[in-house]
Structure 1
């Protein structure tokens, strides 16, 4: 009798703990705008009936955390943020391969990205880099409107520009890589030295510069154009510029962290992120990236990438750990040394 009672008690205990384990939330680090993080969290919870813990961080911070926790990850999914950092994580064996059922529906640029990652990261959106200026501040200062990258180094804009810091911001690393592909590395660093004299602040998040321009706190913000569109649609007096020399672009991605304890749930989230329903959350959160699923609707304010002069962005080179580390070290040494 005692033995049967002990077995029954053990069974109840096992079931209780098993239930508790299954109720642990799916842990996601989010690399897009906070509004989209919140919208996506709620949409997936409604869709799946699961509890999700989602935290917004800059792309560089997410990569650092996943590296730090590689032997015991607390994160299950990395959703959003520039693709070159996802590719770097893939090359460091920090991500788990997974082919979603929606992968056959994605556009060619997303298919190429998935193949480049070895199946460890899936492209979920694309967006072109550019800058935006506050037209009211420009008029008040009686300044000429900038149309090109090289216009931004004019003395007229001294202290009137914000850009992200490429150590934390995927947007800013895309800027660095874009300038190198446009001008060559040495000329790009010469350009960034001149631009540095005009930059009032290097922000942690890549969307912060255009948000500051929208609020009238700075004249010009360098960022992805879709982030500027979001601010303009909210009523900000922004003029959005695709630089005359050409520009780079990002492919935002979603990845499953290697060693996740919630593999099945993580895969369900990736499937949702690649589905038309999941990709529609961008427009619902007033975001204007171009979705990767060919069956998803394009947000009304999304910039027409086909009309923008684009570089043939080299994701393989700039997504490699060695190249990224080398360029960030050069940036810290020659352009903006980190504060002690």
Structure 2
């Protein structure tokens, strides 16, 4: 392992550590694509580079892609900083990819709910999972808005639902709720 792995920290927070220092090796960041990648490349990384003599290599991917990269690189980590959803992050911790963040003064400023056990990772946001629906379409069809997960099993929604992949938090939450509705749960999908 080249360096300690600092998962789920905001990159700006990690990058402000040791301001003005030169970083000999490239700093590899594994994080989300899309708008996160754009913000990192246009705002956060340039601000970091104003204070550091470094090369930053951004490796985009969803959380499960990033976890797979960590597993493929086991024993010879290339990724130095990663941002992942909480489920894959717990897996990364359990697989030993995350070093404790002990001694970092900035941890005192982190809400308890955002601190993973043993301070092996820090959350950067909270997510709530729920339904979004087209109110106009529901009104036009005389349908009541969905009020429970069970409502989604109604035949009238067949072919009309969009559920994200279980490779992200929203899709995984939907899978767990479907399991619970059918007598299962997290340990019995």
- Same-fold call, TM > 0.5? yes
Deviation, 1:178, is: 4.9
What CA deviation, in whole Å up to 9, does each residue of 1:138-161 have, x standing for no partner? 344443321211111111101111
In the aligned structure 1, how far is the partner of 2:144 from the partner of 2:124?
37
Query: In the superposition, relative to structure 1, how do residues 141 and 74 fare at CA in structure 2: closer, same or farther (>3 Å)?
Result: farther
User: Paired residue for 2:29?
Assistant: 28
In the aligned structure 2, how far is the partner of 1:178 from the partner of 1:82?
18
For structure 1, list consecutive stretches of 5 or more residues without a partner in the other structure: 1-20, 190-317, 331-340
User: Paired residue for 1:92?
Assistant: 95
Secondary structure at 1:64 match in 2: helix
For structure 2, list consecutive stretches of 5 or more residues without a partner in the other structure: 1-22
Alignment of 1:1-340 (within 5 A): 22=24, 25-31=26-32, 34-49=34-49, 50-79=54-83, 81-99=84-102, 100-111=104-115, 114=116, 116=117, 118-166=118-166, 168-178=167-177, 183=180, 186-188=182-184
In the aligned structure 2, how far is the partner of 1:68 from the partner of 1:55?
14
Deviation, 1:188, is: 4.4
In the aligned structure 2, how far is the partner of 1:82 from the partner of 1:147?
26
Query: In the superposition, relative to structure 1, how do residues 29 and 141 fare at CA in structure 2: closer, same or farther (>3 Å)?
Result: farther
What CA deviation, in whole Å up to 9, does each residue of 1:188-232 have, x standing for no partner? 47xxxxxxxxxxxxxxxxxxxxxxxxxxxxxxxxxxxxxxxxxxx
What CA deviation, in whole Å up to 9, does each residue of 1:252-271 have, x standing for no partner? xxxxxxxxxxxxxxxxxxxx
In the aligned structure 2, how far is the partner of 1:58 from the partner of 1:45?
19
In the aligned structure 2, how far is the partner of 1:97 from the partner of 1:85?
17
Deviation, 1:134, is: 2.0
Would you say the 8 A contact 1:110–1:123 is kept in 2? yes
Query: In the superposition, relative to structure 1, how do residues 138 and 47 fare at CA in structure 2: closer, same or farther (>3 Å)?
Result: same
In the aligned structure 2, how far is the partner of 1:72 from the partner of 1:179?
38
**How many pairs does the alignment contain?**
162
Structure with a larger share of its residues in helix: 1
Would you say the 8 A contact 2:29–2:58 is kept in 1? yes
Would you say the 8 A contact 1:59–1:170 is kept in 2? no
In the aligned structure 1, how far is the partner of 2:66 from the partner of 2:129?
21
Deviation, 1:132, is: 0.4
Would you say the 8 A contact 1:58–1:170 is kept in 2? no
RMSD (Å), alpha carbons: 2.6
Deviation, 1:187, is: 1.8
Structure with a larger share of its residues in strand: 1
Would you say the 8 A contact 1:163–1:172 is kept in 2? yes
| Structure 1 runs, 4 residues or longer, greater than 6 Å off | none
TM-score, length of structure 2 as denominator length: 0.72
Secondary structure at 2:137 match in 1: helix
Deviation, 1:56, is: 2.8
